[in-house]
Amino acid sequence: MPMTPEERYSRQVLFRGIGAQGQRRLATARVAVVGCGATGSALASLLARAGVGTLRIIDRDYVEPSNLQRQSLFDENDAAESLPKAIAAARKIAAFNSEIVVEPEVADLTPANIGSLLAQSDLVLDGTDNFETRYLVNDYAVAQGVPWIYAAAVGSYGATMDILPGETACLACVFPAPPRGAVETCDTSGILNSAVNLVASLQATEAVKLLVGARDRLRRTLLSFDVWTNQRSEISAAHPRPDCQTCAQREFIHLEGKGRPHITLCGRNSVQIHERERPVDFAEMSERLKPHGTVRHNDLVLKFWLADYEMTLFPDGRAIIKGTSDTAVARSLYARYIGS
């Protein structure tokens, strides 16, 4: 016999903070999840099981065996078939909750397509692995007045912050500029699945609060924690910064494409990424990359060979990636191994 909504969500409806009315609000909500890796897949699973009516899952990558340690919506068959993560996630969700709508988008979120991909979303959730995309989402959310929730996880560390345009600090208020130099990534520093699941659970809970209308219960801080060392910190994000370029001055450089690295095709089967003066310590970067391929460097250039790709990295952060003419693939490789 088919399962009724009353049966499926009965334990959630019993919770006073949600109730029957809150469950109905969840059923009509539209949420965009940007990135369906570790955090994004855990988020999508939690919200689908909670009964969020429409989930749009946006991701540019495909499932690999190394994902299975922490990316909870995928299995060995997905990795063997190299399925796009958005497609694999939609199939898994359909198997445990066929009542909701999942819209998989195999796409690289850019200034050109962000308007269409995030259109009509009540809430945007961060499942990405790079600040470039986060600043783009922040610009869009502030410009459109759409709430979004930032989240990050690497190693044993996680962080998350609710962003309510016009009410709280935005991402640019707290991080006016992206990290410089070498940036830790899951591919170079590893990650604990427990850190991922904790940050996704916190993010999903904040999302449910917002969607059911419990705005007075929303956390208005940047919360960070380390599950290995047990360190925890929390700083206020309750108010926008008066001089913030994004939410105070309304300058949306990332939405206009001005804040992105310039990417060009560079000869046959090569892509060049022009970072904006991002100094790189070759000795440190070489140590980080050694477990993943062959690395060689001198004072002027670092060479990194990984499977079918060759990356040439320059001291200012510029890189030439050989083995592809797809700029999305090049950006993904850069974000994974150099950081962005």
pLDDT exceeds cutoff 70 at 275:
no
- Give the pLDDT score at 221: 97
Q: What value does the mean pLDDT take over residues 268-282? A: 76
Residue whose structure tokens are 């190693």: 155
Percent of the chain topping pLDDT 90: 60
Kind of pairing between the strands at 221-226 and 30-34:
unpaired
CA atoms of 31 and 121, how far apart (whole Å): 5
pLDDT exceeds cutoff 60 at 266:
no
- Give the pLDDT score at 316: 80
pLDDT exceeds cutoff 80 at 262:
no
**Whats the size of the chain, residue-wise?**
340
Integer-rounded Cα radius of gyration of the chain = 20
279-315 confidence digits (pLDDT tens): 888 898 898 899 988 999 888 788 999 888 988 888 8
How many CB atoms are closer than 10 A to CB 233?
11
How many CB atoms are closer than 10 A to CB 191?
22
CA atoms of 340 and 322, how far apart (whole Å): 19
Does the domain at residues 5-236 carry the CATH identifier 3.30.230.10? no
Q: What is the CATH number of domain 262-337?
A: 3.30.310
309-334 confidence digits (pLDDT tens): 988 888 888 888 888 888 888 888 88
54-112 confidence digits (pLDDT tens): 999 999 888 888 888 888 899 999 888 888 899 999 999 999 999 999 999 988 888 99
211-243 confidence digits (pLDDT tens): 999 999 999 999 999 999 999 999 999 999 999
123 phi/psi in degrees, rounded to 5: -160, 145
Percent of the chain topping pLDDT 70: 94
13 phi/psi in degrees, rounded to 5: -65, -30
Q: pLDDT tier at 269 (50, 70, 90 boundaries)?
A: confident
Q: Report DSSP letters for 109-145, one per residue.
A: --TTTHHHHSTT-SEEEE--S-HHHHHHHHHHHHHHT
- Give the pLDDT score at 272: 80
| Domain parsing of the chain, residue ranges | 5-236, 262-337
- Give the pLDDT score at 5: 74
pLDDT exceeds cutoff 80 at 264:
no
Q: What value does the mean pLDDT take over residues 239-248? A: 96
- Give the pLDDT score at 25: 97
Please list, in sequence order, all residues whose beta carbon lies within 8 angstroms of the beta carbon of residue 118, skipping any fewer than 6 positions away.
32, 34, 56, 124, 137, 140, 144, 146
Whether residue 329 contacts residue 322, with contact meaning beta carbons closer than 8 Å, is answered with no
